[in-house]
Amino acid sequence: MNLTLPSGTPAYLSRPDSANRGLVVIPDIIGLRPLFADLCDSLSDRTGWAVTSFEPFPGQDLPGPSDPAFFEARSEAMFQLVDSQLLGDAAAAADATGCASVGLIGFCMGGMYALKASNHPRFSKVVSFYGMVHVPPAWAGPGQADPLAAIHSAQVGRAMAVVGSEDGYTPPGDVQELIDAGVRVELYEGADHGFVHDPSRPTHRADDAADAWAKAIEFLGS
């Protein structure tokens, strides 16, 4: 069902009556859309958890992927984004599940924010799907902190990262930094950016996606 967080941010929630565990999903840079509502529903059906997602750029009329201005406009929106605002909405989304124990996952920029949430007390565990280990220069506004700072202050064992070996957003040196910081890393050889969450993407790899989902759900539920 659609809902509105206390901040006014649009969100979506799929909640079985028997849910005793929650999950927050931070979308990619395209934002909340039917893909993520469907993902909430499918994850809820699969796990029995209450699953919610929310719009990372509320109140902004940003161009879609087919618009030539998409990347520049979204990069500017990222530059203006404030961590406390987005993570505050993530915590509010966790509360909306009605569950005490809530995990968090994110994709692309949402995966970067999953890493930033690794030390957040509202979340039991986090999984980053191809999230940036360092804020890209074009996104590095004054409200953006480096994800590694959160990881280094988080309890070891709370974070997992799913990455592809061919993903330019997660180069080998950055992946090694995650490993050195105690993050569980699942590396998929030959996979590029965005290979899990959107079957319509040319980089989607069905077998790797199925494996990554199984490992992520097991990690979050343990």
pLDDT tens-place string over residues 24-41: 999 999 999 999 999 999
- Contact between 193 and 168 (Cβ < 8 Å): yes
> Average of pLDDT values for 13-21?
95
pLDDT in tens, 101-127: 999 999 999 999 999 999 999 999 999
| pLDDT classification of 47: cutoffs 50, 70, 90 | very high
pLDDT over 90 (residue 143): yes
User: What is the predicted pLDDT for the residue at 29?
Assistant: 97
User: What is the predicted pLDDT for the residue at 154?
Assistant: 85
> Average of pLDDT values for 45-50?
98
Phi and psi at residue 36, to the nearest 5°: -80, -30
d(CA 201, CA 49): 27
- Can you tell me whether residue 76 is helix, strand or coil? helix
The distance in angstroms from the start CA to the end CA of the chain is 27
pLDDT over 90 (residue 152): yes
pLDDT over 90 (residue 222): no
How many domains is the chain built from? 1
CATH of the domain at 89: 3.40.50.1820
pLDDT in tens, 54-72: 999 999 999 999 999 999 9
- Can you tell me whether residue 161 is helix, strand or coil? strand
User: What is the predicted pLDDT for the residue at 59?
Assistant: 94
| pLDDT classification of 155: cutoffs 50, 70, 90 | confident
pLDDT over 90 (residue 19): yes
pLDDT over 90 (residue 212): yes
- Measure Cα distances from 212 to 78, 95, 144 in Å: 27, 26, 28
Burial class (CB in 10 A: 0-12, 13-18, 19+), 66: exposed
For 29, the domain range is: 2-221
Residue 170: name the closest of 145, 204, 147 by CA.
147
d(CA 130, CA 187): 10
pLDDT in tens, 75-104: 999 999 999 999 999 999 999 999 999 999
DSSP class per residue in 56-68: SSTT-----TTST
User: What is the predicted pLDDT for the residue at 149?
Assistant: 93
Percent of the chain past pLDDT 70, that is, above it, reads 100
User: What is the predicted pLDDT for the residue at 92?
Assistant: 99
- Can you tell me whether residue 160 is helix, strand or coil? strand
